[in-house]
Copies of this chain bind each other. A is one copy, B any other.
Amino acid sequence: MNICFGPWKPAKSVVTANKDVVAQFGKDMFDSAEKNDVDFLFEASVGGGIPIITPLKQSLTANRITEIMGIVNGTTNYMLTKMTECGSDYDTVLKEAQAKGYAEANPAADVDGLDAARKAAILASLAFNTRVELKDVSIEGITKITPDDIDYAKNLGYVIKLLAVGKDSAANGVDVRVHPVFLPKEHPLAAVNGVFNAIYVRGNAIGEAMFYGQGAGSLPTASAVVSDIIDASRDIVNNTFGRVRCTCYEQKSFCPMEKTESSYYVRLLVDDKPGVLGYVATAFGDAGVSLRSVIRPSGMLLIMLRSWPSRIRWCMRKSRRLLRF
């Protein structure tokens, strides 16, 4: 943007909606903006029209933010909503989403979680005041979700959502990931359906807050871009630049997903024979993992438990060995 009016020098502030650029080159962009004494604004890079970057950089600065969770990809949220409401399977809703223009011909970036991961990196960088890059984000998409999973979630009072999750705890460091989550039906994010996006923030002063709106589309994106341009223009008119600079002024350590204890949902394909549940429960029990709930539809074991990823993988390998006998 190049605006020159009044007695001021020409200013070339930068406004972008490109999340890839912000996630990958955010630091370089800020360094360059500072060197050239201009603004660098990117409200449209996450959540389309939803004001979230400005609130994080300005309105929530008095908080230590401990958690940020977002439904930040409209394509996958549309697909999961359809699977939940209509009971359709993954391939059917993907075709429907492609026909409606919500998913691209090659949907990989959306359904594999890469798009959400870029936004997770941006949100976590702003929320935790430390640089989070794409390589720091654990990513799992929605391609393996079946109607059985959706049903199981529904019966237990959950909905399945693809979330971008960032957590910052003094004990473990920063933990950023994108994966499908069993979300309790009462959670504010659980009612965010279709192509809508929402970002949920937990801070030590504000408690819980949520920002909801249209996460994509030309007009919502234009709303954010043009508002940024007006904001940059206000700085030009007032002859001030870089009023709100890069806020990554800390260097926090990361807690890899492998070392994060979480609640997990495990689906195993099993033979409909007596003793199978006993074998599996023994395998998990021997590894010190206690099962929270088990449902056994035909040919399947659906388990809720709390543990670490490596321990769960070890149990599942052991379960398979046991099941061979």
Contacts and interface: CB of A to CB of B under 8 A. Distances in A.
Interface of A: 43, 49-51, 54-55, 58-63, 188, 191, 203-214, 217, 219-220, 222-227, 229-231, 234-235, 238-240, 243-244
Given A206-B214, A207-B214, A54 B49 contact: no
Give 9 closest A-B pairs by Cβ, nearest first.
Answer: A51-B59, A62-B226, A209-B213, A205-B223, A49-B206, A210-B212, A51-B55, A240-B240, A206-B223
Given A223-B63, A240-B238, A58 B49 contact: no
Contact of A58 (B50, B219, B227): B227
Given A62-B223, A210-B211, 10 more contacts: A51-B59, A55-B59, A58-B231, A59-B227, A60-B223, A61-B231, A188-B191, A207-B214, A212-B212, A235-B243
B243 A234 contact: yes
Nearest to A231: B58
A317 B213 CA distance: 44
Nearest to A229: B62
A224 B60 CA distance: 7
8 contacts: A51-B58, A58-B58, A61-B227, A188-B212, A205-B226, A206-B213, A209-B214, A238-B243
